[in-house]
Structure 1
Amino acid sequence: MTRLASASAALAHQRAWFRDLQQAAADGQDFALVNADAPQEILRAMDIPYVVNQWWASIVTAKQAAAQSLEGVAELGYPDDSRQYDVLALGSRSLEADRAPWGGLPKPRFVIAELSGDATGKVFEAWTDDPAIEFFAYERTVAIPPEGPWWDLVPHEWDRVFGRERIELMAEENRLLIEWLEERTGRRFEPARLEQVMDLINEQEELNRQTRDLIAAARPTPVRVSDTIPAVMIPQWHRGSEWARDAARELRDEVAALIADGSTVAQDERLRLMWVGRGLWGDTSLYRRFEEEHGAVFVWSMYLAIAADGYIRYGSDPIETLAARFVGITDLLYAPPLAPQWYVKEAKGHGVDGVVHLVADDVPGASFITLALQEAGIPVLEIRASNADPRTLDPGAIEAMMADFIGGLG
């Protein structure tokens, strides 16, 4: 089975976009490095180019440059065994030009992140060892128990999931970021432009929801997660653009066509698996190696699922609505009880026979997720390693563990 056309198109678009960004940076245009948990939509609305920290970390890892980048972190005098996924971009500054993935990340003018852990602020403050780089930090607030299934509530009734006080705080921080950027760039923020961005994102995520539901219902599965991940996540990093909305439609239409044609990933699908945790960017072929021998197919990753359930927001005030999108995005993925309930819902909806759970030491709430899945009667294999630190990964051992786990499911 060949790669999805929508995945290939997304990858080609990203390469062309990054070349343009490198040229713009070389010409003196400001751009931002922004963590995935901080609102990128404000930058989109103000036409300020940005790179998402986790996307760049995935490129560094996929190009086998993570170990050397972590060495660069240590050479700066910082810990290289903490928050590796967050810190890879910082460490990649030390790479020689011929070793740097995609020609290397240009120097950002701004870094933006939420203080989601004790070390996160220090990671991003470290960028300011260059006086030309400034850091804007969002505060981290505490999750509250939802008043029902959050995936049904968040599009319209976000207060019941996140709480009014949390949303108001982040909305005010959004306004502070806008003022901060206006002062430094000379650009003017236009609320109507943010409204357009938010509308396009809702269209994009509604299409992703349709794609998720198509894959959940399909028997056998028509697509690999190693294809859906780039086909979903590259447009996610361009949320609010017409290209991203159209890319989501192309993926939906391609998946629907494959289902209609009876396409299948494995000729003899016997087991359906769920991959919980971050992508294993350094070895995405792992998702495919059990298809022929075991008839085991990974049908789920968090990337399409969180796009489907976690990002849709409707509201009259775009700044507040944007706050409602981001104030609890990491809670939905990691914090109990929100995350465990969601993973169980998704596992049942996709009819999985087992879960492989990649647990990194900087991921909160992992044990609650595993426990909830097991209590729902779903077997779980935990792999304790960092997807961004090859020193914590033993590919042979992981493959053997997965082979034993899958063999036990059959």
Structure 2
Amino acid sequence: MTRAVKQLESAAEAGRYQREWFRALRERVAGGEPFALVNADAPQEIFRAMDIPYVVTQWWASVVAAKQRSGDYLRLVAERGYPDDSDQYNAVALGSVFDDDPASAPWGGLPRPTIVLAETTGDTTRKVFDVWGQQPGIAFYALESAASNDAPQRWWELMPHRWEEAVGTARLDLLTAELAGLVRFLETTTGREFRDSRFREVMALVNEQAEWNRRSRDLIAATSPAPLSVVDSIPSVMVPQWHRGTPWARDAARRFHDEVRERVDTGRAACAGERLRLMWIGRGLWYDMGFYQRFQESHGAVFVWSMYLAVAADGYARYGGDPLRALAARFAAFSEQLYMPPWSGDWYVKEARAHGIDGVVHLVSADPRGSWFTTRALRDAGFPVLELHADNVDDRGYDTAAVAADIGAWLDGL
């Protein structure tokens, strides 16, 4: 498959930092420190404040997929009687615990966790993490996934300061209590202390990082031709996101912004012959990142938008109130923001309009989480949508040539 070509130094620097960080993390775990595997939709900031090293499940799955190893890990899952065609994003990481030769794994292999944490959206995710908890020496702490019948209008405007109104008191009461329980659990199982002053520092750094991401998102939206494509924005944003609450992550977000600003000011573009601005909805296609640049030369089509920078801009900043409750507000409605109507549809339409989008490619996996409603909202707003039915980490049914032909024909129509 075609390799993605990164144009931003911040993207390359993020990759270098992540490799060195992972090497150091493996050394810490080998030295006997507790280690957590944490779902992306769960509040990692508590682990940051308590200095408990952790890896995000979805990040590890993306590394495995990028190394073309997801089929191997899913085979290990299937050999133990579990389905290998359901919730692969989490199941790929689960395969790591069954690997008898971790030294041959990407990046030296995922250390065996002592703690796993997940926000249990849907029955499947809960079952995957239950299997983690059945392994010797691994404790699973589950967070509930509460829902509400009411959806706020323009949630992205409410969330930074009026998050209680946006999310709802009952949902915040539940998750805040669960987070307090998580703190007690971690203190008991690891011997680490949770200090409120340190936690406030972490939360403040996350807010600063979100503000830099918002500025970057707005710069890209307002600039044509686009100063970069998602091949650069995804790693430049997401690696720092996995390190939220650290000075490095805050500074990396600022460096990314400054690099985008410089490209805007000097007229540097991802594709000088830009004719079409595309939106990518869904998780990253980790085993084929070259996909996002494949159509620039043939059609002048640039993927200028992904959810990763956009949600980093709109979904994380929380100001005021009790910091633990503010953290609950960051995650209590996270799934709705990305996947559930009308939260998600309204947001995608807003982002498509702001970025001057000409067409949308929507990755629809087996666990659609409201995909039909997202496509309908965009089409109703006048945006052409092509649905790409594939899994973002499981490449066993993915045909590169057929997908390229389908996308090319669709772009011809645009």
TM-score between both structures, scaled by the size of structure 2:
0.97
Q: Is it true that 1:220 corresponds to 2:254 in the alignment? A: no
Residue aligning to 2:385: 380
**Correspondence for 1:114:** 119
Which residue number corresponds to residue 8 of structure 1? Answer: 12
Could you say if the C-alpha distance between residues 2 and 107 of structure 1 is closer, same or farther in structure 2, counting changes exceeding 3 Å? Answer: closer
- Match of 1:31? 35
For the residues of structure 1 that align with 2:119 and 2:174, how far apart are their CA atoms?
13
User: Which residue number corresponds to residue 175 of structure 1?
Assistant: 180
- Contact map agreement 1:144 1:162 (CA 8 A) in 2: no
Aligned pairs, number: 409
Tell me, in whole angstroms, the C-alpha distance in 1 between the residues paired with 2:66 and 2:6.
Answer: 20
Cα deviation for residue 176 of structure 1 reads: 0.1
Deviation at 1:2, TM superposition (A): 5.3
Within-5 A mapping of 1:24-103: 24-95=28-99, 96-97=101-102, 99-103=104-108
CA distance in 2, matches of 1:352, 1:196: 38
**Contact 1:222–1:264 (CA under 8 A) maintained in structure 2:** yes
- SS of the residue aligned with 1:175? helix
Distance (whole Å) between structure 1 residues aligned to residue 168 and residue 109 of structure 2: 41
Residue 166, structure 1, aligned to residue 182, structure 2: no
2:412: which partner in 1?
A: 407
For 1:357 and 1:2, the matched residues in 2 are separated by 23
Aligned residue type for 1:375: D
Runs of 4+ in 1 over 6 A off after TM superposition: none
Q: Which amino acid aligns with 2:309?
A: L
Q: Distance in 2 between matches of 1:273 and 1:376?
A: 15
Paired amino acid for 1:293: S
Instruction: Return the match for 2:195 from 190, 193, 199.
Output: 190
Residues in 2 aligned to 1:407 and 1:210: alpha-carbon distance in whole angstroms: 33
Identity level (%): 55
Deviation per residue, 1:127-159 (Å, 9 max, x gap): 133220000000111144333200000111112
Deviations 1:178-226 (CA, angstroms, capped at 9, x unpaired):
0000001111111111111000000000000000000000010011201
* 1:1-400 paired onto structure 2 within 5 Å: 3-95=7-99, 96-97=101-102, 99-400=104-405
Structure 1 unaligned residues grouped into runs of 5+: none
CA distances 1:89-143 after superposition (whole Å, capped 9, x unpaired) = 1113344345311000000010000110101111111113322000000011114
C-alpha distance after superposition, 1:272-326 (max 9, x if no partner):
0000000001010110011111111010000000000011111221100000001
Query: How far, CA to CA, are the matches of 1:377 and 1:228 in structure 2?
Result: 26
Deviations 1:17-46 (A, max 9, x none): 000011111111111000011110000000
Deviates more, 1:45-54 or 1:88-97: 88-97
For the 8 Å contact 1:276–1:356, the answer to whether it is kept is: yes
For residue 197 of structure 1, what is the amino acid of its counterpart? V
Asked if 2 retains the 8 angstrom alpha-carbon contact of 1:145 and 1:338, the reply is no
Aligned AA (1:181): L
Moved more, 141-150 or 247-256: 141-150
Confirm or deny: 8 A CA contact 1:357 1:381 kept in the other structure.
Answer: yes
SS in 2 for 1:33: strand
Contact 2:152 2:343 in 1 (8 A): no
- Matched to 1:157, the amino acid is R
Find the residue that maps to 2:176 and give its secondary structure.
Answer: helix
Give distance in 1, aligned partners of 2:361 and 2:6.
25
Asked whether the equivalents of residues 6 and 231 of structure 2 are also in contact (C-alpha less than 8 Å), the reply is no
